Structure formats: C-alpha cells, structure tokens
Structure 1
Amino acid sequence: MGTLRGYDKRIMVTGGAGFLGSHLCERLLADGHDVLCVDNYFTGSRHNIAHLLNNTRFEAMRHDVTFPLYVEVDEIYNLACPASPVHYQFDPVQTTKTSVHGAINVLGLAKRLGARILQASTSEVYGDPTVHPQPEEYWGNVNPIGPRACYDEGKRCAETLFFDYHRQHGLPIKVVRIFNTYGPRMHPNDGRVVSNFIMQALKGEPITIYGEGQQTRAFCYVDDLIEGFVRFMGTPEQHTGPLNLGNPGEFTMLELAEKVIRLTGTSSKIVHKPLPQDDPKQRRPDIAKAKSLLGWEPKVPLDDGLERTIAYFRSRFL
C-alpha cells in the first residue's frame, strides 16, 4: 500500500496514549502525517493526548492489541505494552499476551497492508547483563521464570516474531531496544526510578533507594528517543535492527537521587530498602550502531531533562 498523498502518511501508533506513544504521535503530526492512536488505556491516559484531539489529522481509537485490528495505514509503530514493573507485574499473563498476541496481530496487519512496522523492544531483553555496556549482539542474561519474565521474555518473543515475519514474508521491520527514558507524561505511580524520586521529593517524603544505591542506569530524555525512532523508521529496508536507543551516560541511583533533591529543593532524606529480585545491577547502551547509521545521539543533559520533568510533575500532580 503506497502513501496516500505523496509526502505524508497515515501512521498507526499502538500504545499511542502512553508516555512514549503520546510524544511520538505529537512528533508525527508535526511532521505532517495523519496519526491513528490505538490504546486500551490500561497505562495510557486520555490526558496525554487531550491536546491533540482537535487536530483533524489525529484519530484516537480504544482497542486492545491482543485482539485483531482492521484498519488501513502506511506505517505502524508498535508501542503497546505496560513498561514499568508495577504495571507489568499487576497482570503478568496479560503482559505476556500484549507482547506476543499483540505482535502477532500488528504483524498480521502489516503483512496484509505491506506496511513498514517498528517494534518498541527494550533493554530488558539483556536481563541482568554480564556484558557492559550492552551491544546489540549480546544475547542477554534473563531469568525466564522470575517476576520480571512476563515483560522480558514477552519482548524477546516479540522480537523473534518480527524477525520471523521478516525472513518468512519479507516484511519491512524495524526493532529498537529502548533503554531508560524519562520526561513529561510519565505515569506518577509507575514505580520507575525517575518518577518515584520526583514524586517523593515534591511531596517531601523520604526518597527510596534499593540496596546501597550503587546500581547504575542510563537516562535518555524522551525527545531524544523519539528522534531516534523517526530517523530509524526512515532508513532503507535492509536496516532491520535490533538497534539500541538510549543515553550512554551512566549514573548510580544515589547520584540520581541527589540530583532530584537539588533540583526540587526538597527537604526529603534518602532511605535504603532491600533490592528487589532480578533487579539489574547495571544497564548502559552501546549506541555505536545508532551513531553510525542515524547520526543520532542524545542531546539533552540529565539536569535539563530532569528540570523539564519536575516542572511537568509540579503542574500536573501537585
């Protein structure tokens, strides 16, 4: 199926009312495309897309991707899946279904339409890595029966399905592995470290660190990530990925907590709790491929991104 009007396309974003999805919808509209946002609002929010509803190029559809979907589009970004431990462990069977059945359904749609399709995979496919930083060639170290497996293994299976559709049916696919991303429209209760720290700081509550706080993460601001999505989708068909997208700047949890305390001006104190099961000790992307292929690397420094995120949380939740 060709593009409908030459330069612009009709693009479907599953999980389009979520944190990343809403920013992607916004970007695609700004680029002149028609956007179909598909979401079941389990973790997504109408508030995230409320400012887009009056745009005649934007359409919102309530739908769960574990059921087939029959629409006409030129491209698909598959972002549907709860992405924080609090949400994906709430109903782990449904989480696996969303990744696996969801992938089967959107891939079937893409095959029927001949549409290019991008899968939002995750750095969680690397598990608790024994290789650092993590290159795309690393196969990972995942506990297949642990409490995080519904997400980790669901996403790994989705990648399998994408590459099998590519090999078996010649489907034009793109697979990105997203490392920790933060910014406005994060869910305040998603249990992820940036939103946790900011909400605790703004409420003057103790800031919770698990273990000694020496485990590391790399934090990418949402605008940088979306830029990587769009650039990768525009590459020639032979570039399928998987492609790491994230910020290679590595910070300990203790460093992040201290930054949030300083930027919010809170009087909150840091408290330590035991480490959760299978919590990775370190996570940092090797982004050499993204730099080489896309000319992409994150631009927004952590302090700047945190300031924007804190401002959003202040205005929205306090």
Structure 2
Amino acid sequence: MRKYNGRSQVLVTGGAGFLGSHLCDRLLGEGHDVICADNLFTGSKRNIEHLLAHPRFELMRHDVTFPLYVEVDEIYNLACPASPVHYQHDPVQTVKTSVHGAINMLGLAKRTGARIFQASTSEVYGDPDVHPQTESYWGRVNPIGVRSCYDEGKRCAETLFFDYHRQYGLDIRVARIFNTYGPRMHPNDGRVVSNFIVQALRGEPITIYGEGEQTRSFCYVDDLIDGFVRYMRLEGPVPGPINLGNPNEFTIASLAQLVIELTNSRSSLVKRPLPSDDPMQRQPDIARARETLQWEPRVQLREGLARTIDYFDQLLREGS
C-alpha cells in the first residue's frame, strides 16, 4: 500500500454525513490525508466545518454516481441516504447511489490498487426470520416494497464488491452496519433515536409505531467508527461480510421511556400504524467481529444517549 511521508491517502465518500464526518475525524487524528467526497444531499458542511482549515483535509462536492479521479490508498464508501425519510424521497437516485456508486468506487480501487470498504447495512437481512442475525443468513427482503430502493441497492452493492474481489482480486472489506446513533445525526432524518430526542426536548408527543414492541440494537457512533478502522487495518484477505453493531436489544417503547427520563421531558406517547416492511426484530450476532477484529461496543445506551441529547439540545437552542 502506497504511503506518502508515512501517511495514507484516504477517500471517504459521504464524508460530510453523520458517520462519515466522525470517520474523517478519526482518520485525521491518526495522521492520514483525507479526501471527503459528498454531494451534500443528506450530509452537511456543519458536520465538517471544524475540519475545513485542516491542512490534511480536502472537501470535494461530488456525486458518486459519477466517476471520481483521485490517487488514494484506501477508500471508505459510505455515500448513500440511510434513513427511510431520505432514501424514499428519491428512490431511483438511492438505487443509483448504491449501485453506480459502488461500480465507480470499485473501478477507482481497481485502478489505484486501493483497499476499499463498503458500508453495507443490516437492512440486507430485511424482516428476518432468524434471530439474532448472523452473516451467513441470506435475509428476507421484499424486492418491490417502498424500502427496497435502499435494501436491494445495498444487496446489489455487496454483490458487486464480492464479484470484483473474485474476478479482479480487489482487497475489499464489507461491513453490515446496525442501528447507530450519536452527535451529528440529522434532526429530521426520521430515525428513531433522533425522532425521540427531538420530540422529547420540544415537549412534543413521542411517536411510537405499532405497540412499540419491535426491537432494535443501538450502537454508539464512536464504537462503530472504531470497528471500521480496525477492519480496514487487518492484513490478508478478509472480505467479510462482518456485522458491526451493539448486540444489546431494546424495545422501541423502552427506548422512548429512557429518552423521556434522560431529557426530563413531559412528553406523552402517541401510537401510529406500523410502516410497510418495517422489521420487527433487529439484533446483530457479532461473534465474527469479536473473533476477527477483537471488537465489541463499549458505550452503553444510557451514556451514549446522554451525549446525543446534549448535542441535540445545543442544536435546537441554536435554532438549527
């Protein structure tokens, strides 16, 4: 792997997003040169404005559905709207971002000899009939539903990554990301943690879908980024996929009550019908990550929520 002055040249697509901006922080902190490519559809300059003057950071406004010509040692492909509100806004573009974006980034990796990381998702498992979900489970996905633009787009991207690995010998890393939360989440992205926190801080009713008995596993962003970097630092052929997430499972109703407690809110709970194809269970089996990466989450939900609440409280006070 090429290095200049002992530093790797790293491309992060979607680098102005929630996860991407934290990854840029981590990579710069380790001394690498970072190119952040983002079309700012769901990403925000606010997330990276503290990096804009950094001598080893470069922001490129770029859509990954078009080729990108840069010289890099590593690629983290994170570009894609990841919340239902955003990826259902323009489902055709969502599929293009996953599929064309994967093709373009894989082509770049092939040309430069870069190691490439794909931010896949637990949504490749669909509404699972296996619990918890292991990497060997093929999933139960509706190919024509309203969530399919994201679910099937990510599944196709995984196919492309493994075919490039088998056909061209590309050094790939495929991580399946489970629910993640923390500072820099978009306040209006429709995800359960940000929804609950914003509603609670505003004193609005907290919206529960169904009876709130569906379960999720919540990983704090710092833990997840540590998993990314550990995975990319492994030598040898380790294409994955590897689940990255917190195996502790919580009902949505219990999450709502914890958010109310931590915000000292008087918000009540309001129930709405379940959205189409919304999975009832989501919990990662992380045995492979523990064994391969010596990784597991360290930040517990109460601690992570407190940090995230502080971020949103400041955001709302600023009127952002």
Normalising by structure 1, what TM-score? 0.99
Shift in Å, 1:273: 0.5
Shift in Å, 1:237: 2.9
Q: Deviations over 1:36-57 (max 9, x none)?
A: 0000000000000000111100
Q: Answer yes or no: is the 8 Å Cα contact 1:215–1:252 preserved in 2.
A: yes
Matched residue, 2:112: 113
Matched residue, 1:99: 98
Shift in Å, 1:4: 1.9
Partner SS state of residue 120, structure 2: strand
Matched residue, 2:2: 2
Which aligned pairs between 1:255-294 and structure 2 lie closer than 5 A?
255-294=254-293
Which aligned pairs between 1:12-51 and structure 2 lie closer than 5 A?
12-51=11-50
Partner SS state of residue 117, structure 1: strand
Shift in Å, 1:236: 1.7
Equivalents in 2 of 1:13, 1:158: separation in Å?
Answer: 17
Q: Deviations over 1:190-236 (max 9, x none)?
A: 00000000000000000000000000000000000000000000112
Equivalents in 1 of 2:59, 2:258: separation in Å?
Answer: 37
1:183 is aligned to 2:182: yes
Matched residue, 2:223: 224
Partner SS state of residue 68, structure 1: coil
Matched residue, 1:315: 314
Which aligned pairs between 1:184-223 and structure 2 lie closer than 5 A?
184-223=183-222
Equivalents in 1 of 2:109, 2:295: separation in Å?
Answer: 27
Identity %: 74
Partner SS state of residue 251, structure 1: strand
Q: Answer yes or no: is the 8 Å Cα contact 1:12–1:73 preserved in 2.
A: yes
Which aligned pairs between 1:55-94 and structure 2 lie closer than 5 A?
55-94=54-93
Matched residue, 1:249: 248
Gaps of 5+ in 2: none
Equivalents in 1 of 2:79, 2:212: separation in Å?
Answer: 31
Gaps of 5+ in 1: none
Shift in Å, 1:5: 2.4
Equivalents in 1 of 2:136, 2:234: separation in Å?
Answer: 20
Matched residue, 1:170: 169
Q: Answer yes or no: is the 8 Å Cα contact 1:25–1:37 preserved in 2.
A: yes
Equivalents in 1 of 2:148, 2:25: separation in Å?
Answer: 32
Shift in Å, 1:32: 0.5
Shift in Å, 1:2: 1.5
Matched residue, 2:145: 146
Equivalents in 2 of 1:210, 1:31: separation in Å?
Answer: 42
Equivalents in 2 of 1:236, 1:165: separation in Å?
Answer: 18
Partner SS state of residue 173, structure 2: strand
Aligned AA for 1:147? V
Partner SS state of residue 27, structure 1: helix
Equivalents in 2 of 1:2, 1:181: separation in Å?
Answer: 32
Partner SS state of residue 107, structure 1: helix
Normalising by structure 2, what TM-score? 0.98
Equivalents in 2 of 1:86, 1:191: separation in Å?
Answer: 6
Aligned pair count reads 317
